[in-house]
Amino acid sequence: MTTKQRQNLDKYYQSKYGISLETYEGMREAQGGKCYICGDIPSGKGPWGKPAKLVVDHCHTTGRVRHLLCNRCNPLIGMALENKERLLQAQDYVENECQIYTSKAEV
């Protein structure tokens, strides 16, 4: 990454999340380059065809930065509106309800 790209990325993290690029890199290192939720190391292409990377997860109510997540786990939290009960209901659904039918033909 060029110096200019690093400066632009630093400005982006500062303005959007209130952290520096150095802080992001420290978080990534502390997490071993892995998603905080699933433990995957991003690979391949992410959204918009760019290389996959860990994204900054933050609370939409407080703005507080939490951890770095992959581009599968981060939208999962957002789509559930950061609602713990909804996520627990989804977990219950996946663990129990999805086992009702054994094939698409039975649906």
pLDDT tens digits, one per residue of 60-99: 889 999 999 998 899 999 899 989 999 999 998 888 875 5
H-type helices in 31-105, by residue range?
Answer: 73-79, 84-95
Note the Cα 104 to chain centre separation in Å.
31
H-type helices in 19-71, by residue range?
Answer: 21-30
Q: Read off φ and ψ for residue 66, nearest 5 degrees.
A: -105, -75
Helix (H) or strand (E) holding 70: none
The pLDDT confidence band at residue 105, using thresholds 50, 70 and 90, is low
